[in-house]
Amino acid sequence: MSAAPSFASRLRRSRFLRFAAWGSLGGMALLLLCWLGLTAAASAAPPPSNDILNVTINNGPGGTNLSMPLQILVMFTVLSIAPGIVIMTTCFVRIIIVLSFLRNALTLQTPPNQVLLSLAMFLTFFIMQPTWKKVVDDAVTPMRDNKITLEQGIDRAEAPLKTFMLKYAGEQDLRLFISMSPEPIELTTPDALPIQIIIPAFMLSELKRGFEMGLMILLPFLVIDMVVASILMALGMMMLPPSTVSLPIKLMVFVLVDGWTLLVRSLVDSFKVAS
């Protein structure tokens, strides 16, 4: 049996508990005093001036004043939907689908997702450069110089994007969304179509073309897998996975034909000819 604690150890323990209790009470009192002081200082401070909080945004004729919190809200809203706009209204969808098909055809985990996304993003910038330049020249620059209003700038920015999307949106997809629209739409000219009809039709067309190009990439590698599997079966090597032998062959073929250059050239050329 263990010996009972001595009188000295019990005395030290009681002193420690008293010190901890008094220290906790003192800390709480100090925090309370600090909070009271800050509250008093805030109540005694003069109210902020509207001239400091308000920033004037001149939208051309009939400019308006927007408060700083509202401007910050608008800025964060634009930043949050910017990736969606890039995906919906550009060639990013087709490019990333084709690159994903290539990686699956090679049965590899490389390149990683970050590399594929970066390559797709920079190819998108390269292909969309003329369209975005027209948006900047027709909408962004006049708005910055206070020559047009915000509404006029949005209308001018939509025009080049609608032209690009209508160039590659399939007629069948456009008619599909026109027929499903809750409001009747008169098909007079393609440019008169609303943006909410053009964007989903364009995305659906890009998905179709991406899968078509991905299928053309997948077929040669599938043939290599079938040939390797047939040879291994004929040699009686049933226990050897065909992918173990076909992977180096597929990589060698892809490198010898300079596959990355051919793939990127095909993706860029696919956006030079209207559908």
Residue 45 falls inside a structural domain: no
Show pLDDT as tens, one digit a residue, over the chain (275 residues).
Answer: 444 455 455 545 555 555 555 555 555 554 555 555 545 544 554 444 444 434 444 444 444 445 566 656 666 676 677 777 778 888 898 999 999 999 888 887 788 888 888 898 899 889 988 888 888 888 878 877 778 777 777 778 888 888 888 888 888 888 888 888 777 776 666 667 888 888 888 999 999 999 999 999 898 888 888 888 888 888 887 777 877 888 888 888 888 988 889 999 988 888 875 44
Residue identified by tokens 């010898």 is 256
Whole-model pTM? 0.66
Please give the structure tokens belonging to residue 66.
């927007």
Cβ atoms of residues 111 and 254 within 8 Å = no
In this structure, is residue 257 part of a structural domain? no
Return the pLDDT at 211: 92
pLDDT of residue 154: 77
**CA dist., res. 22 & res. 185, Å (int):** 78
Domain that holds residue 216: 56-221
Phi, psi of 146 (to 5 degrees): 60, 35
Sign of CA dihedral 28, 34, 37, 42: negative
- Model pLDDT, residue 2: 44
Token pair belonging to 150: 């915000």
Q: Is residue 237 a part of any domain in this protein?
A: no
Give the separation between CA 130 and CA 116, rounded to whole angstroms.
23
Within-domain flag for 196 = yes
- Tell me, yes or no, whether 275 lies in a domain: no
Residue 3 lies in a domain: no
- Report yes or no on 185 lying in a domain: yes
Residue 180 carries which DSSP code? H
Evaluate whether residue 50 is within a structural domain. no
Domain count along the chain: 1
Q: Are 67 and 182 in contact (CB under 8 A)?
A: no
Q: Please report the pLDDT score of residue 167 as a whole number.
A: 87
